[in-house]
Amino acid sequence: MSTLHDSFLRRIADAIERGNKVFWYSMVFPVVFPNRTIPIQEENIERVLIIRSDAIGDMILTTPLFRALKSRHPELRLWVAASDRNAQVIDADPDIEKIIVLVKKRKIVWSAIRSLRAFKPQIIMNCVTNETTKYGMIARLISRTAFTVALGHPERAEYAALYSRLIRVPDMYTRWYADIMLEFIRQTFGISIDAKKAFPHIVIEEEHLQRADSFFKSSMLRIGEPALVNISAGQPRKRWSNEKYIALITMLRKRFDTVILTSTPEDRQNADTILRHFGAGVLYYDAENIRALAALIARCRIVVTPDTSVIHVAAAEKIPVVAMYSNAKSVVPQWLPFGVPFSAVVTEEYFCEAIDPREVFANVAELIDALPNRDGKS
């Protein structure tokens, strides 16, 4: 009887919550933030604003959307509302007319909204997928006439009242995120775009390319030979201990003459601890930003990393990846490396620390053995 009673109360609570959302989203929100959408045809587009003010990896996986828009409309004025973290991905991208930092230290920069209002965007694409309500309000503050679009979650139909259109992707949890981003064009304009065009892209300045070349030359490395190991990850559950990285690199040294270590500045002390364990054959590369890291990765044979933006940097540079994921089976397919050979090591536990270095090395060895050699032979 108690179980039936609890189940009944849960259904009542869920119904109240849904009714509350419908009330706020369908009745209050449209009154406080009215949207007088002006219909627009694709051929008449002149100004598009893309909101992507979250993480570095998210920005990398949104670059196919930029490419597709500009390839169809070379004269399009494309602005991006970024964060202080991910603006570095597109700082050198000629397709972006202007980057406005909308989020700094995880807080909204309200002065940025004035700059975005002056742009007078005709279309606003909110690509931030986990704060739909907040960015729906911000989109209305930026323009009350723009056609606003956001990614719709199957379980949150009430968001439809916040935007001119919600992008519906029924299989969104089993598709690569980069291809999901192209749905903004497919469904907004009703056109077909090949999923192969979802390849991420990072524009790298010549200075970063030259610095990576100098590093290889001074270290007497051949391009395409070293393995790169990234030890940094933003979330604690994705991190590994120094001991496990030492164990992995010890095994990697049996297959690679050189292993290059990278990290964020916050993890430099951990990197130094790992480096002290080895003599020659393990080097550290201090990349000043994500574009500098991309220049280095492009010259490596394979990348090993926990679930972080480095996965997508490697994919953008067409370098094979072995990536470690903690238990999040419903979303892992979205964040797999796109368009490159890869191996995903996924633990059933919440923390990546549960992954055995021997399993990671076995995946590296198997992937390397399946790849063509530098001379093109299998």
Average pLDDT estimate for 373-378: 44
Query: Which residues have CB under 8 Å from 311's CB, separation 6+?
Result: 57, 303, 305, 321, 323, 335, 336, 337
| β-pair partners for 259 | 227, 282
In this prediction, residue 190 carries a pLDDT of: 87
- The DSSP bridge pattern shows strands 77-83 and 98-104 to be parallel
Show the DSSP H helices in the chain as ranges: 2-22, 29-32, 56-60, 63-72, 110-119, 132-142, 177-189, 206-218, 242-252, 268-276, 290-297, 310-316, 357-370
CA distance 223 to 300: 6
The DSSP call for residue 68 is H
Give the residue among 230, 242, 237, 241 at the shortest CA–CA distance from 326. Answer: 237
CB count, 10 Å around CB of 47?
17
In this prediction, residue 376 carries a pLDDT of: 34
Question: Predicted confidence band at 4 (pLDDT cuts at 50, 70, 90)?
Answer: low
Read off the amino acid at residue 125.
Answer: M
CA distance 340 to 327: 23
**From 43-52, 85-94, 163-172, 240-249, the region with the lowest mean pLDDT:** 163-172
Give the residue among 166, 195, 205, 204 at the shortest CA–CA distance from 64. Answer: 195
Share the mean pLDDT of the chain: 89
Average pLDDT estimate for 93-108: 96
CA distance 293 to 81: 23
In this prediction, residue 200 carries a pLDDT of: 95
**From 34-43, 272-281, 293-302, 315-324, the region with the lowest mean pLDDT:** 34-43
CB count, 10 Å around CB of 168?
14
In this prediction, residue 18 carries a pLDDT of: 62
Residue 76 has pLDDT above 70, yes or no: yes
CA-based radius of gyration for the chain: 23
Residue 55 has pLDDT above 80, yes or no: yes
Question: Predicted confidence band at 375 (pLDDT cuts at 50, 70, 90)?
Answer: very low
Q: How far apart are the first and last CA of the chain?
A: 65
Domains of the chain, start order: 25-198 (3.40.50.2000), 206-370 (3.40.50.2000)
Helix, strand and coil in the chain, % to nearest 5? 45, 15, 40
In this prediction, residue 79 carries a pLDDT of: 98
CA distance 245 to 277: 11
CA distances 39 to 45, 137, 188, 349, Å, are: 11, 20, 11, 48
Q: What is the pLDDT of residues 181-231, one digit of tens each?
A: 999 999 998 888 998 889 999 999 999 999 999 999 999 999 999 999 999
CA distance 187 to 170: 13
CA distances 203 to 4, 16, 90, 371, Å, are: 58, 49, 7, 26
Three-state secondary-structure class, residue 113? helix
Residue 331 has pLDDT above 80, yes or no: no
**From 70-79, 80-89, 149-158, the region with the lowest mean pLDDT:** 149-158
CA distance 337 to 316: 9
Three-state secondary-structure class, residue 376? coil
DSSP string, 92-111: T-TT-SEEEEEEETTEE-HH
Residue 365 has pLDDT above 70, yes or no: yes
The DSSP call for residue 202 is -
CA distance 296 to 220: 14
Higher-scoring residue by pLDDT: 124, 160: 124
CA distances 134 to 129, 313, 352, Å, are: 11, 29, 31
The answer to whether 290 and 311 are in contact (CB under 8 A) is: no
CA distance 376 to 336: 25
Residue 361 has pLDDT above 60, yes or no: yes
In this prediction, residue 271 carries a pLDDT of: 97
Give the residue among 159, 157, 117, 155 at the shortest CA–CA distance from 138. Answer: 117
Considering the chain, what percentage of its residues have pLDDT values greater than 70? 85
The answer to whether 305 and 219 are in contact (CB under 8 A) is: no
In this prediction, residue 1 carries a pLDDT of: 47
Average pLDDT estimate for 140-155: 86
**From 61-65, 78-82, 233-237, the region with the lowest mean pLDDT:** 233-237
In this prediction, residue 377 carries a pLDDT of: 33
